[in-house]
Amino acid sequence: MTHSKESTRTGTLIWISGPVVKARISGPISVLEQVHVGEARLAGEVIGLNHGLATIQVYEETNGLRPGEPLCGTGAPLSVMLGPGLLANIYDGLQRPLAVIRDQQGIYLRHGSQAEALPSKKWNFTPRARAGDLVHPGSVLGVVPETQLIEHRVLIPIAVEGKLIDIARQGDYAVHDVLATVEDAGGARHPLTMVDRWAVRTERPVQERLEPSRPLITGQRVLDTFEPLAKGGTAAMPGPFGAGKTMLQQALVKWCDADVIIYVGCGERGNEMAEVVNEFQRLTDPSSGRPLMERTIFVANTSNMPVAAREASIYSATTIAEYYRDQGYAVALMADSTSRWAEALREISGRLEEMPTEEGFPAYLPSRIAAFYERAGRVRTLGGNEGSVTMVGSVSPPGGDFTEPVTQYTQRFTRAFWALDRALANARHYPAINWQTSYSLYVNTVAAWWAKETAPDWQALRSTAAQVLEQASRLDQLVQLVGAQALPERQRWILDAARLFKEGFLQQNVVHPIDAYCAPAKQVALLRLFVELYQVGQQVIESGTPLARIHQVLDIRRLVQIKETVPNDQVDQITQLLSELKARVNALVPAERKA
Ligand SMILES: Nc1ncnc2c1ncn2[C@@H]1O[C@H](COP(=O)(O)OP(=O)(O)O)[C@@H](O)[C@H]1O
Ligand SMILES: [Mg+2]
C-alpha cells in the first residue's frame, strides 16, 4: 500500500519528532490521507490538519529527515490490498511482505520493500456469475483455489452494482488482469480484477449482525469447557510477563477451528515472532494434513520496528480478517500484545503534546479499544453468507497489575476474560489461567452446541467441577491453618477431586504430542470421568467407607495422566475405565449397607 498512487508535492516539512512530523501545506490534502514523507518517500498518514499545518505519523524510521523536505499526498486513505495470495504471507503493519530469518532480529523487510503485497503468480479463476447477471456488492464473481485449505471467493467490490456485461472464462490470470466489466445504472463501466482495496480504519459493511451461536473450539480444556469463546466473540487475555500469553495465543493459532487465522505480533520480540513463523512452516492441520500456513496470515510489528506502524498493524489485520469473513469464512484474529499497541498510541499522543489521562494514555484510549473489538462479530455478509471474526487480544499489564487502564478497558469491551496468573505459572500450572478470576459470557451461547454434539448434561458436568474447585479453594485456606489430616474425610475427598480437575483436566501441556490438542469429545469424557468418580466416592464415604479404601481403588496419580495417554480418537477407553472404576468403588460398600 506504499505505492498506491502517483503523488504530488502538497507541503514542506517544518518539524520532526520521532514518528511524528509537521508540514506546511501548499496543496489539497485531507485527514487520514496516506502520504509520502521527505525525499526518501517514507510512508505516513495525516492525523491532524490545522491552520495550514498537517500533522503526520510516519511508519518508518525518520532519522535523517530534515525540515524543507517535501510532503506528497496520495489522495487516498491508508488501505490494504485484498485478493488471493494473502494466505501464508508475513506482512508488516503496512502490508509489506517480510522475510523471516532465524537469528537475533528475526524478521526483516524483504528486499525491494516497495514490492506488491500480493504475489504476481497466476491463479486459476472459475467464474460463478454470467454475463447479463445483476451483481451487487459482496456477490461472488468467481473462485480461486488460493490454497488447498481455502477457496478464495472473488467478490464484487462494495461500491459496484449493476449488470455484468462480460466475464472471463475459466483460466489462469494474474491479480491485476481484468476479469469482468459491470455497467451501473448510470451507464458507467467498472472493470473488475481479483484485487480490492480497503481503507484500514473503516469497517467493511455487512448486511446484518448476528449473535454468536457456535463455540470456537481451541482444544484447550480450560478454555473450551470452562471459559468458552464463541465464533464472532471477543476475549481478553491479560497476564504478567512470562505467564504464558504468547504460548497460549500460539496454541490457539495452531488448533482453533476457525477457517482462517490472522496472527498479529505487535511490539513483541522479533526472534520470538520468527520462531513462531518457522515453527508454523513445519506444522500441519490435524484435520486435513495440509500445512497450517495455508490458512494463516502473519502481521508482524516487532519491538525493533517503528512504533507508528504498530498502531496501523491492528487495523490492517482487522481489515484482512473482515475480507475473509465477507467470503463466508470463520476468521480468528489473535493480537499479541494489545498493550504494545496502546503504548504506540501513547507515544504518538505524547509527541503531539496531547493532554494525557491515566498513566499517560490519551483520552481516546477507551474508544480506540472499543472500536477494535467492535469489528469482531458473527454477520450475514453483503453476499448473504454467514461469516465471523473472532478476536483474542493479549494484554501485558506492567507488573501484572490488572487495574491499569489497558486491562480495564479491554475487560470492559470483551466478553471472555482469561486471566493468566503469576502464581499458577510459578507452580508450572499451564495454561496459567486463573479459574476463579476468569469468566466467559458465552457459556449459555455455546451450551446448546455442547449438549447436542457431546453430552446433554454438559452444563451440569462443568458446574459440578466448578463447585468442587470453589469448595476446595476455601478448604485450602483451612488446610494451611490446621493441616489436611484435621479435615473430615468428606472434605479431604473434595481436595482429592479438585486435584483431579486441576492436574488431570485444567493443566495441559502445549508441546505434548497427545495432550496439546484435546478434542471436545475427549474433554467431556475426562470431565465426566472425574465428576462421576467424585460423586461415587462421595456416596461411599457417606455410607461409612474410609477414604483410604477409595485410594486403594483410585490411583489419583495415574488418573491425572489419562489426558496424556488416551488419544483423541480412543475416547471409549475413558468411558470404559469410568465404568470399571465406578464398579470397584461401589464394591467397597458391603452389600448389607447398600440395602
Ligand atoms: N502452556 C505452557 N506449557 C509449558 N510451558 C509454558 C506454557 N506457557 C508458558 N510456558 C513457559 O513460560 C514461558 C513464558 O511464556 P510466554 O508465553 O512467552 O509468556 P508471556 O507471553 O506471557 O510473557 C515459556 O517460555 C515457557 O517456558
Ligand atoms: Mg509474550
What atom in ligand 1 is closest to the CA of residue 249?
17
Provide mean pLDDT across the span 198-214: 96
Any atom of ligand 1 within 6 Å of the Cβ of 447: no
Ligand whose nearest atom lies closest to the CA of 400: 1
Any atom of ligand 1 within 6 Å of the Cβ of 245: yes
- Of 164-173, 309-318, 420-429, 552-561, minimum mean pLDDT range: 309-318
Which of 444, 467, 501 is the C-terminal boundary of a domain?
Answer: 444
DSSP secondary structure letter of residue 205: P
Residue 577 in any domain: the answer is: yes
Model pLDDT, residue 112: 44
Confidence of residue 280 (pLDDT cuts 50, 70, 90): confident
Any atom of ligand 1 within 6 Å of the Cβ of 505: no
Ligand whose nearest atom lies closest to the CA of 430: 1
Model pLDDT, residue 310: 85
Q: Between 100 and 588, where is the model more confident?
A: 588
- 302: pLDDT strictly greater than 90: no
Residue 559 in any domain: the answer is: yes
DSSP secondary structure letter of residue 484: G
- 511: pLDDT strictly greater than 50: yes
* Cβ contact 415:359 at 8 Å: no
Helix (H), strand (E) at residue 108? strand 107-109
| Closest listed residue to residue 343, CA positions, set 369, 373, 318 | 369
Q: Are residues 438 and 462 in the same domain?
A: no
* Cβ contact 162:185 at 8 Å: yes
Q: How many other C-beta atoms are found inside a 10 Å radius of the C-beta of residue 188? A: 10
- 144: pLDDT strictly greater than 90: yes
Percent of all residues in the chain with a pLDDT value above 90, rounded to a whole number: 80
- 6: pLDDT strictly greater than 50: yes
Question: For residue 146, how far is its CA from the centre of ligand 1 (angstroms)?
Answer: 33
Ligand 1 probe mutation, 218, 245, 247, 254, most atoms within 8 A of CB: 247
Any atom of ligand 1 within 6 Å of the Cβ of 516: no
Return residues with CB closer than 5 A to ligand 2 (ion). Answer: 245-246
The strand pairing partners of 189, in sequence order, are 183
- 2: pLDDT strictly greater than 60: no
Coil, strand or helix: which one is 511?
A: coil
Any atom of ligand 1 within 6 Å of the Cβ of 28: no
Any atom of ligand 1 within 6 Å of the Cβ of 241: yes
* Cβ contact 33:73 at 8 Å: yes
What atom in ligand 1 is closest to the CA of residue 250?
17
- Looking up residue 585, the CATH number of its domain turns out to be 1.10.1140.10
Which residue's CA is the nearest one to ligand 1's atom 2? 430
Residue 317 in any domain: the answer is: yes
Residue 449 in any domain: the answer is: no
Which of 77, 99, 132 is the C-terminal boundary of a domain?
Answer: 77
User: Across the chain, how many H-helices and E-strands are there?
Assistant: 17, 28
Pairwise CA distance, residues 390 & 365, whole Å: 21
- 3: pLDDT strictly greater than 50: no
Pairwise CA distance, residues 447 & 463, whole Å: 12
Model pLDDT, residue 110: 57
Any atom of ligand 1 within 6 Å of the Cβ of 430: yes
Q: Are residues 485 and 570 in the same domain?
A: yes
Helix (H), strand (E) at residue 129? none
- 283: pLDDT strictly greater than 90: no
Q: Are residues 397 and 505 in the same domain?
A: no
Model pLDDT, residue 7: 66
Which residue's CA is the nearest one to ligand 1's atom 9? 244
Model pLDDT, residue 229: 98
Model pLDDT, residue 272: 80
Pairwise CA distance, residues 54 & 71, whole Å: 10
Model pLDDT, residue 115: 65
Q: How many other C-beta atoms are found inside a 10 Å radius of the C-beta of residue 177? A: 16
Coil, strand or helix: which one is 249?
A: helix
Q: Are residues 439 and 481 in the same domain?
A: no
Any atom of ligand 1 within 6 Å of the Cβ of 510: yes
Question: For residue 184, how far is its CA from the centre of ligand 2 (angstroms)?
Answer: 50
Any atom of ligand 1 within 6 Å of the Cβ of 74: no
Ligand whose nearest atom lies closest to the CA of 222: 1
Q: Are residues 406 and 305 in the same domain?
A: yes
What atom in ligand 1 is closest to the CA of residue 240?
22
Question: For residue 278, how far is its CA from the centre of ligand 2 (angstroms)?
Answer: 17
The model's pLDDT over 362-412, given as tens digits with 9 standing for 90+, comes to: 999 999 999 999 999 999 999 999 999 999 999 999 999 999 999 999 999
Question: For residue 275, how far is its CA from the centre of ligand 2 (angstroms)?
Answer: 12
Mean pLDDT for the chain? 92
Residue with the three cell numbers 510459578: 426
Confidence of residue 273 (pLDDT cuts 50, 70, 90): confident
Q: Are residues 307 and 407 in the same domain?
A: yes
Model pLDDT, residue 594: 59
What atom in ligand 1 is closest to the CA of residue 239?
22
Give the residue numbers spanning the domain of 268: 208-444
Question: For residue 258, how far is its CA from the centre of ligand 1 (angstroms)?
Answer: 23
Which of 418, 444, 470 is the C-terminal boundary of a domain?
Answer: 444
DSSP secondary structure letter of residue 215: B
Model pLDDT, residue 428: 95
Most confident of 176-185, 277-286, 479-488: 176-185
Question: For residue 425, how far is its CA from the centre of ligand 1 (angstroms)?
Answer: 8
Residue 153 in any domain: the answer is: yes
- 4: pLDDT strictly greater than 50: no
Any atom of ligand 1 within 6 Å of the Cβ of 397: no
Residue 30 in any domain: the answer is: yes
Count of domains forming the chain = 4
Chain centre to alpha carbon of residue 370:
16
Q: Are residues 464 and 427 in the same domain?
A: no
Q: Are residues 73 and 159 in the same domain?
A: no
Any atom of ligand 1 within 6 Å of the Cβ of 395: no
Q: Are residues 284 and 312 in the same domain?
A: yes
Residue with the three cell numbers 489419583: 556
Could you tell me the end-to-end alpha-carbon distance of the chain, in angstroms, rounded to an integer? 79
Residue 28 in any domain: the answer is: yes
Which residue's CA is the nearest one to ligand 1's atom 15? 244
Residue 100 in any domain: the answer is: no
- Looking up residue 62, the CATH number of its domain turns out to be 2.40.30.20
Question: For residue 62, how far is its CA from the centre of ligand 1 (angstroms)?
Answer: 35
What atom in ligand 1 is closest to the CA of residue 272?
18
134's CB contacts (< 8 A; 6+ apart) are: 162, 163, 164
Question: For residue 340, how far is its CA from the centre of ligand 2 (angstroms)?
Answer: 11
Pairwise CA distance, residues 441 & 227, whole Å: 8
**Longest Cα separation, the chain:** 99
Any atom of ligand 1 within 6 Å of the Cβ of 426: no
- Residue 444 sits at the vertex; the CA angle it makes with 438 and 447, to the nearest 5 degrees, is 105
Ligand whose nearest atom lies closest to the CA of 248: 1
- Of 141-155, 288-302, 366-380, 485-499, minimum mean pLDDT range: 288-302
* Cβ contact 179:126 at 8 Å: no
Q: Are residues 172 and 214 in the same domain?
A: no
* Cβ contact 486:507 at 8 Å: no
Confidence of residue 1 (pLDDT cuts 50, 70, 90): very low
- 113: pLDDT strictly greater than 90: no
Residue with the three cell numbers 471409549: 572
- 519: pLDDT strictly greater than 50: yes
Pairwise CA distance, residues 562 & 572, whole Å: 12
- Looking up residue 246, the CATH number of its domain turns out to be 3.40.50.300
Question: For residue 268, how far is its CA from the centre of ligand 2 (angstroms)?
Answer: 7
Confidence of residue 100 (pLDDT cuts 50, 70, 90): low
Confidence of residue 289 (pLDDT cuts 50, 70, 90): confident
* Cβ contact 593:544 at 8 Å: yes
What atom in ligand 1 is closest to the CA of residue 336?
21
Q: How many other C-beta atoms are found inside a 10 Å radius of the C-beta of residue 91? A: 24
The model's pLDDT over 233-263, given as tens digits with 9 standing for 90+, comes to: 999 999 999 999 999 998 999 999 999 999 9
- Of 113-127, 200-214, 516-530, minimum mean pLDDT range: 113-127
Question: For residue 421, how far is its CA from the centre of ligand 1 (angstroms)?
Answer: 12
Q: Between 456 and 311, where is the model more confident?
A: 456
Residues, the chain: 595
Q: Are residues 69 and 147 in the same domain?
A: no
Pairing, β 42-50 against β 33-37: antiparallel
What atom in ligand 1 is closest to the CA of residue 241?
23
Q: Are residues 480 and 509 in the same domain?
A: yes
